[in-house]
Structure 1
Amino acid sequence: MYKYINRTIILSALFVLFFAACQKLDNLGELETSKHNAEYAIPLFKGKASLQDIFKNLENDSYLTVGDDNVITISYEGEVAAQNSDIVFGSIASFPPFPVDTFMALPFQPPNGVDLDLLSIRSGKIVFAFESNVAETVDLELTIPQATRNGEIFKIQTGVVYNDASLPISVGPIEIDLSGFDIKPTNDSIIIQYTATTTSGERVVMDNFLMLFSNMEYSYAEGYLGNGLIDFEREMLEVDFFNDLTQGNIFFEDPKITLTIDNSFGFPIRIKPKFINVEMKDGSTIPLESNFLEEGINIDYPKLGEQGESKRTQFSFDKNNSNLQEILDGGPVLFDYEMDALQNPDSIIAIRGFMTDESRFTIQLGLELPIYGRAKGFISRDTFDIDFSEYEDVDFAEFNLSTSNGIPLEVAMQLYFADENGLVLDSLFNGAEAILLAAPVDENGEVNGLAEKTTMIPKSADEFKDLKEAKKIFLVASFQTSGEGKVPVKVLSTQNVDLKMGMKIGFNR
């Protein structure tokens, strides 16, 4: 399972902004085309947009965050892997049928070293049966002193009525609801006792006395809850930022792989990732490497007295404590990972904890790419469908684009016009054209001015004739940050780009 956001989102955003003008040509047919040798100047687009405005209109923009410093971060979030208390409660207390004496200490030793101080029963029954070989009516009282409900201990009174019947007399099975009872074991045992008294006052023993705890479910446990393993399903997180970036170098100043853990289990837990493997766009795989993968990550947990609370732990693998920069250099496209969690990893029995039937433990892996860094020579490619059939009467055109850029990104692009079979007919520019010059920055990578550029794009009659046959546009775009990609820059949500675009079209009939 995975989530993703739009690929090459920065370039796509700028492309959307730039070519929004082209979508204003729907009313071209309204021009008077009957005149010969006529030219028309048409203002196509004028406006200002910030990156925040641009990103707001793209799909899945919920994965873009803006910090207090206005730096935009591209965030990928994996599915939330979760486990609840069933995985722990399921192994705490289960009993096969057992014989009962007049006084007995039922061993209560759950697996994984569990040492309980208190166990609250949500639902379940105690079932028992016995036989009487006494030729008298017998009154029987069964008690479990360590089981209480509303301050009263568990006590059941029953009996055997003798009416000259043949012996032995069978009683049961008798079922008693245990919902709401609290059990407090002593010395890893639960005391169960009964007294059987005849009408003449003599104490007797019942034969074949068997007991069973049936369908037990628990709402609360307190004590040392063992050192078992909490296992999570394997997950995958797709990253498409690098998919169409075919060459170039990019360096993020502060990238992070973040584990976000929410925990309402009240005992120590240590995260131990089984693996975090990263698939590169060339098909190779690089495992995430960090000392913390070997040592594990201790997470916060609610203490006794904080029942009902959940504690959040966030841990980040960064370029200083892992090989994350090596992974980003390779162009990651898929994170494949599986997590384990260890209960009470140091096996300190003196640390008493708790859990409830609503205790929950979740892990989410995320990738954060703050747009604070440097890039040079990155190439992106994409394909779009077009249709110039409405422009049959136009013989030639000239596009005029003026930009004033306050964003520290330079964008150069080339558009190739192709027919329905993909055969290239013409290109928009003679060569790759820088349509946006990067805004200048200071030594801290912060924009301190504007970069202005005017681009003329003439198309002769013969060139425009070829364009009319085009059905596809192949986009090849490259970008680099200010300072020729050598200085880390901050791309902020408040930075703007001003665009003005016009078109002059002509008719030679």
Structure 2
Amino acid sequence: MRRPSLSLPALLLLPLVLFSCQWDDDFSRLQQPEWHPSLAAPIVNTHISLGDLLEAWGESTWVETDEAGQISLVYEEPLLDASWSSLLALPDRTIPMADTLVEFPVVMPGISLVQLKQGTLTYNISSGLSEAVEVMILIERVGAEEDVFERYVVLQDGGPHQGSFSLAGQEIRAEGGNIVFRYRARRQATGEIVRLQACEYGLQDLAYVYAEGYFGQFVFNLGADSVGLDIGSSLEIEGLRLADPKVRFIIENSYGIPIRIDANELTVLSPDGQQTVFGLGDSMTVGYPAFGEIGETVTTVAEINRSNSDIIPALEAGLASLSWAFSAHTHPDGPDGGSGFILDSSRLAIHMGAEVPLHGQVARCAMSEMIEADLSDFSADPVQSGQLKLIVDNGFPFDLQVQAYFYDGEGLLLDSLFDSDEPLLQPATVDADGWIAQPAHCEHLIDIPADRMAVLPRTRTIGLRASVSTTDRGQVPVRLTEAAHLGIKLGLVADL
């Protein structure tokens, strides 16, 4: 075990200390000292920037920064994704062959070409003869490379005989929607041409991969829906004005035909339940891929801004939800609009987007919240009173008012944290263009007297209320950049 040791200077001083002490056993002359201890403790020392706050946004919202450092919040939400199989209907068909040649409608007039990815040609044939008969089954204007689909079957007896052939990979080149079905039957032994006793063809399970032509004028109800944005539902907003907000409808179209979108109306539902309906005026003509762009998607953007709609002031007043109703019109100009094409993968999708530059002003934006807080176990002893010291470097162009209210179990107001509603923080100064020029430095000493400390054990609920406003109580437009920051130091000095 290592023993404690004294250094040489300490050993030399030790006799002097011992012999200089005088003992006095009269304790009656001792006095009770007066103590006034204080305890100082740091509570908060933090720094947060606007960039840190913006990281909390969800997947549908992201941040863009321009060359000048101006931040914009960009939001996008898919509204609908539609495909219209009814644009080209290919129902099952039964073709009775009353003669050796029958012209029969297969596709609607105006369709000039259909490339099939699947389908079946069926036959049901009776020759009525007891000898072998060779039958040629032929469809004109159908084929992969040739303009004819031709197959052969041999009937060994009078029948009936059923069978089928695949039409996958074949092309239909209809004229006026019709194609020609034929058969030719001959005795296998002599080659003599004969008529069949019965012949019936069928087309089943046809599906296209590509089609072109004029598809007709259809109106498709794209439905009505809504998206809950819950902007401002928990806030009290006064005097909000955004400098240049934009709402966009982004339409992605891979149908190679003319389409017009009618946005029949937009309905804004405010947090207090009031509805405001906005017509969008003219219809939107949707861009579409040309024949040289088969398989590509063309994007059309319709923008709503302050100059072309009254919807922006409604959004500034607070928004709980946004609802809409759309319809689509194909070939709105009729056959004069020209022909086009569709693929089995063609789709039309609509997204709603918003771009909100963080440039604007607000006279007041307040939020209140009640918090259950049973402080019955809190004791003011040994803490008699104290002070909170707050040091803030505010790099945001907002002032801040904060108040806390203490309520007992019956909801009776006991006290408040502050005696006045003066702003706790002053805003950063801005230049003539609204850019942040200089952070504001604030220091506050907040007294917590003994009578206020005594309220705490009776508190069951705390009401918090905070409000902000931009520079000069919302009279000056300001801009936010990622460099905007807030540094906070909070300490407690308690008297024991």
TM-score between the two structures when normalised by the length of structure 1? 0.82
Cα distance change, pair 477–155 in 1 and its aligned pair in 2 (3 A): same
CA deviation vs aligned residue, 1:384-434 (integer Å, no higher than 9, x gap): 344657863533332222222222222212122334554433222112231
Match in the other structure for 1:8: none
Which residue identity is paired with 1:131? S
How many Å apart are 1:349 and its aligned residue? 4.7
Alpha-carbon distance between aligned partners in 1 of 2:185 and 2:458, rounded to the nearest angstrom: 102
Cα distance change, pair 106–207 in 1 and its aligned pair in 2 (3 A): same
Is contact 1:302-1:311 (8 Å) kept?
yes
Cα distance change, pair 342–434 in 1 and its aligned pair in 2 (3 A): same
Which of residues 118, 124, 141 in structure 2 aligns to 1:123?
118
Match in the other structure for 1:97: 94
- Between structure 1 and structure 2, the one with the greater Rg is 2
Match in the other structure for 2:266: 276
Alpha-carbon distance between aligned partners in 1 of 2:385 and 2:241, rounded to the nearest angstrom: 43
Paired residues, number: 458
Alpha-carbon distance between aligned partners in 2 of 1:501 and 1:218, rounded to the nearest angstrom: 71
Alpha-carbon distance between aligned partners in 2 of 1:430 and 1:246, rounded to the nearest angstrom: 23
Equivalences for residues 53-452 of structure 1 within 5 A: 53-56=52-55, 58=56, 60=58, 63-68=61-66, 69-89=68-88, 92-100=89-97, 101-110=99-108, 115-134=110-129, 136-149=131-144, 153-162=148-157, 169-199=158-188, 200-291=190-281, 295-349=282-336, 351-386=338-373, 392=379, 393=381, 394-419=383-408, 422-452=411-441
Helix, strand or coil at the partner of 1:52: helix
Is contact 2:237-2:318 (8 Å) kept?
no
Alpha-carbon distance between aligned partners in 1 of 2:268 and 2:469, rounded to the nearest angstrom: 26
Alpha-carbon distance between aligned partners in 2 of 1:460 and 1:138, rounded to the nearest angstrom: 115
Which of residues 454, 463, 468 in structure 1 aligns to 2:452?
463
Alpha-carbon distance between aligned partners in 2 of 1:416 and 1:62, rounded to the nearest angstrom: 37
CA RMSD of aligned residues (A): 2.6
Cα distance change, pair 440–396 in 1 and its aligned pair in 2 (3 A): same
CA deviation vs aligned residue, 1:177-217 (integer Å, no higher than 9, x gap): 21221212124321222211123222222244222211222
Helix, strand or coil at the partner of 1:435: coil
Which residue identity is paired with 2:417? L
Is contact 1:82-1:232 (8 Å) kept?
no
Alpha-carbon distance between aligned partners in 1 of 2:417 and 2:293, rounded to the nearest angstrom: 66
Alpha-carbon distance between aligned partners in 2 of 1:277 and 1:98, rounded to the nearest angstrom: 52
Percent identity over the alignment? 26
How many Å apart are 1:84 and its aligned residue? 2.3
Alpha-carbon distance between aligned partners in 2 of 1:357 and 1:445, rounded to the nearest angstrom: 53
Task: Say whether 1:48 aligns with 2:35.
Answer: no
Helix, strand or coil at the partner of 1:267: coil
Alpha-carbon distance between aligned partners in 1 of 2:175 and 2:454, rounded to the nearest angstrom: 94
Which residue identity is paired with 1:488? P
Alpha-carbon distance between aligned partners in 2 of 1:47 and 1:229, rounded to the nearest angstrom: 59
How many Å apart are 1:258 and its aligned residue? 1.5
Cα distance change, pair 497–415 in 1 and its aligned pair in 2 (3 A): same
Is contact 1:85-1:355 (8 Å) kept?
no
How many Å apart are 1:119 and its aligned residue? 0.9
Cα distance change, pair 446–125 in 1 and its aligned pair in 2 (3 A): same
Alpha-carbon distance between aligned partners in 2 of 1:361 and 1:233, rounded to the nearest angstrom: 13
Which residue identity is paired with 1:71? Q
How many Å apart are 1:358 and its aligned residue? 1.6
Which residue identity is paired with 1:344? H
Alpha-carbon distance between aligned partners in 2 of 1:157 and 1:421, rounded to the nearest angstrom: 95
How many Å apart are 1:300 and its aligned residue? 2.1
Which residue identity is paired with 2:289? P
Helix, strand or coil at the partner of 2:51: helix
Helix, strand or coil at the partner of 1:403: strand
Which residue identity is paired with 1:197? R
Alpha-carbon distance between aligned partners in 2 of 1:274 and 1:158, rounded to the nearest angstrom: 58
Is contact 2:253-2:347 (8 Å) kept?
yes
How many Å apart are 1:85 and its aligned residue? 4.5
CA deviation vs aligned residue, 1:480-506 (integer Å, no higher than 9, x gap): 111331222212222122222212123
Alpha-carbon distance between aligned partners in 2 of 1:70 and 1:300, rounded to the nearest angstrom: 34
Match in the other structure for 2:21: none
Cα distance change, pair 317–130 in 1 and its aligned pair in 2 (3 A): same
Which residue identity is paired with 2:116? I
Alpha-carbon distance between aligned partners in 1 of 2:300 and 2:136, rounded to the nearest angstrom: 51
Cα distance change, pair 88–109 in 1 and its aligned pair in 2 (3 A): closer
Alpha-carbon distance between aligned partners in 1 of 2:238 and 2:470, rounded to the nearest angstrom: 12
Is contact 1:396-1:464 (8 Å) kept?
yes
TM-score between the two structures when normalised by the length of structure 2? 0.84
Cα distance change, pair 245–275 in 1 and its aligned pair in 2 (3 A): same
Equivalences for residues 482-501 of structure 1 within 5 A: 482-501=471-490
Alpha-carbon distance between aligned partners in 1 of 2:35 and 2:93, rounded to the nearest angstrom: 100
Is contact 1:78-1:235 (8 Å) kept?
no
Is contact 1:425-1:467 (8 Å) kept?
no
Is contact 1:146-1:184 (8 Å) kept?
yes
Which residue identity is paired with 2:461? K
Equivalences for residues 2-41 of structure 1 within 5 A: 37-41=36-40
Helix, strand or coil at the partner of 2:451: helix
Is contact 1:232-1:339 (8 Å) kept?
yes
Which residue identity is paired with 1:97? T
Which residue identity is paired with 2:255? F
Is contact 2:118-2:169 (8 Å) kept?
yes
Alpha-carbon distance between aligned partners in 2 of 1:436 and 1:206, rounded to the nearest angstrom: 99
Q: Which runs of 5+ in 2 are unaligned?
A: 1-33
Helix, strand or coil at the partner of 1:322: coil
How many Å apart are 1:109 and its aligned residue? 4.6
Alpha-carbon distance between aligned partners in 1 of 2:476 and 2:455, rounded to the nearest angstrom: 42
